[in-house]
Structure 1
């Protein structure tokens, strides 16, 4: 609508210019003829010079008209160029979205085919992630308990659970526990995180798109247990180099359930930008 108004305005300006030029032309010719007819015989010799003045004026007006025409054509070309650019951007976004949503469909298909067999029950699909998170907690508790028994061998068995809840879980503990979880579930976790990483990487590497919007769509696909496991994966050497920077850049842990982390200080093992925050640890 705005472009139509601008185009109408330019057309109106051009018509006004033509009208004014025509009026000047008629007035000049009329004045020249009147002066030529009513001048005395001694001044008739200058009559041709007046036509020469009129010719010069008309030539000047023609030149100005040519310039206006060129300017209008250039404006028209710029408009066409902008339209072409918009069409190109539209095709670019359409091609990206085709690939993006195909990869999301592949991701969901992968999740539907996941299986976890504990020897008693076979769990399928997204339901395996709460189980894997619980297994991680078991491994983490075993590691920390064993470490503290080594340091304090006289701790009664009944107090080990209480001791574990008060411990400050560090990066080394999480890395060891996740590594054990990964070794026992390599097929599920490896395929899952590789696919998720490439979807995030696709958004990261594609220019001229609303990256925050598409990342929010990715984040919306993740359950609470999946976000927690992704957090551990980014701390582990599997995802520390490539996936962790993307998680921090695009706030992949925004709205994460902190109660599922080993303790409050665990979140400081990664930049707070990963949680959609800018503040640092005090």
Structure 2
């Protein structure tokens, strides 16, 4: 094999070797040596791989080959003549020869490498721009997310502060209402013949008056037929209320309670009787309640006088004797001084003389008391910022301010026409405040299971009274 053939094969082998070297470098570079650029975010890291392309690899190989070739060519070309056509041994000074031979290859390699550098810079700029826009988008997303989280957190904090402020305002008003309630009780006064009753003593007196009036009315009303006392329209109304609220009570008994409480509330003096007559006009038979009111007006305030003793006498009379006597006195009411034809018992009553009625009325005491108490519970019940359990806790706290006698009066008032809006007949504008007594168990602490025969469970079946717990012990 000639020397020229060996040189050609060496050059070919070198080129082939560099090509294989490029393939190997590309493969292992992609597999084992990726360049990673890490950019931290709030939750994760983004990884970007920068890989050399085939063009870049081959340009680097060509540049390397040319540089290597620049070292080989001078050796080849400065040797003694290879062939007759290739004899460069006489080509001038050796330095000029080497420089002249190497410079073109080195210059060409430099051009290639410089171009490659610009190309890599171009790719790097593209990559940086892509990464910048991606990072910008991530920052924007993170900013919006953080902004949304901050907004939600701010809204929660604002809502919590607003609720706290509203709760403080509510409690301030609520405890002020409790203070007013206590003042209402403290300011109660009732002057008797011998002394002055105050505070809870007045409440107890009113309760005792109701029980006494209830018994007086019940004694006078001995019929078993509701139509003898109640007009049909009111009977229908009472039955509707009873059906809607699951009330189980005799209509006459209900009417007796309503009449007795109205008399105790308004009294039987001139002004009070006028109000009662207007109230009873749409509910009860006129013949019945006119004579009933006349009968109760005969009862004097002075329980130590002779008139009261005469009252006790007629109070003890049997109904077959009592009703004719009251009828006789009632028919003679216009001219009471005309005593002709009156029975001996009627003459003893001396209805023509002036005296103070036993049932004076307590409207100026109880009216404000019940209105304020109703507004207190309405204030609790209508508060939209309180859950039901919290409402019950505040209502329970207010209930703790009520004495047993106050709860008894509240019970009586709520089952009569004067106070049915507490439980049974709330107006349309007050429908949300219906069933206040059942909802908050306002009469839970009443003793026993009845109030002188008036059973609590007849009206309030769902209330769990303390007496129930005592029975179960």
| Alpha-carbon distance in structure 2 between the residues aligned to 1:39 and 1:108 | 100
8 Å Cα contact 1:107-1:196 kept in structure 2? yes
Asked if residue 220 in structure 1 is aligned to residue 418 in structure 2, the reply is no
Asked if residue 267 in structure 1 is aligned to residue 444 in structure 2, the reply is no
**What is the TM-score of this pair, normalised by structure 1?**
0.73
Q: For residue 72 of structure 1, report the CA deviation from its aligned partner.
A: 1.2
| Change in CA separation of 1:187 and 1:241 when aligned onto 2, cut-off 3 Å | same
The match for 2:380 is: 203
What is the DSSP-based 3-state SS (H/G/I as helix, E as strand, rest coil) of the residue aligned with 1:230?
Answer: helix
The match for 1:133 is: 207
Deviations 1:101-140 (A, max 9, x none): 1111111111101012333331101122222212111111
Q: For residue 193 of structure 1, report the CA deviation from its aligned partner.
A: 0.7
| Change in CA separation of 1:235 and 1:275 when aligned onto 2, cut-off 3 Å | farther
| Alpha-carbon distance in structure 2 between the residues aligned to 1:272 and 1:177 | 23
The partner residue of 2:137 within 51, 56, 63 is 63
What is the DSSP-based 3-state SS (H/G/I as helix, E as strand, rest coil) of the residue aligned with 1:187?
Answer: helix
| Alpha-carbon distance in structure 2 between the residues aligned to 1:87 and 1:276 | 39
Q: For residue 273 of structure 1, report the CA deviation from its aligned partner.
A: 3.8
What is the DSSP-based 3-state SS (H/G/I as helix, E as strand, rest coil) of the residue aligned with 1:97?
Answer: helix
| Change in CA separation of 1:275 and 1:176 when aligned onto 2, cut-off 3 Å | farther
Structure 1 gap segments, 5+ residues each:
1-12, 152-167, 278-282
The partner residue of 1:89 within 152, 159, 163 is 163
The match for 1:163 is: none
Q: For residue 39 of structure 1, report the CA deviation from its aligned partner.
A: 3.8
The match for 1:191 is: 368
Asked if residue 181 in structure 1 is aligned to residue 264 in structure 2, the reply is yes
Deviations 1:199-258 (A, max 9, x none): 111112221122111111111111111101001111121111356532233321223223
The match for 1:118 is: 192
8 Å Cα contact 1:253-1:275 kept in structure 2? no
| Alpha-carbon distance in structure 2 between the residues aligned to 1:262 and 1:276 | 17
The match for 1:258 is: 448
| Change in CA separation of 1:72 and 1:14 when aligned onto 2, cut-off 3 Å | farther
| Change in CA separation of 1:236 and 1:255 when aligned onto 2, cut-off 3 Å | same
Structure 2 gap segments, 5+ residues each:
1-39, 64-111, 225-249, 267-360, 425-433, 467-473
Say which structure, 1 or 2, has more relative contact order (CA 8 Å, 6+ apart): 1
Deviations 1:181-212 (A, max 9, x none): 11211111112111111111111222112211
What is the DSSP-based 3-state SS (H/G/I as helix, E as strand, rest coil) of the residue aligned with 2:446?
Answer: coil
- Structure 1 or 2, whichever has the larger Rg, is 2
What is the DSSP-based 3-state SS (H/G/I as helix, E as strand, rest coil) of the residue aligned with 2:197?
Answer: strand
The count of corresponding residues between Structure 1 and Structure 2 is 239
Divergent runs of 4+, >4 A: 13-16, 35-38, 274-277
Q: For residue 147 of structure 1, report the CA deviation from its aligned partner.
A: 2.2
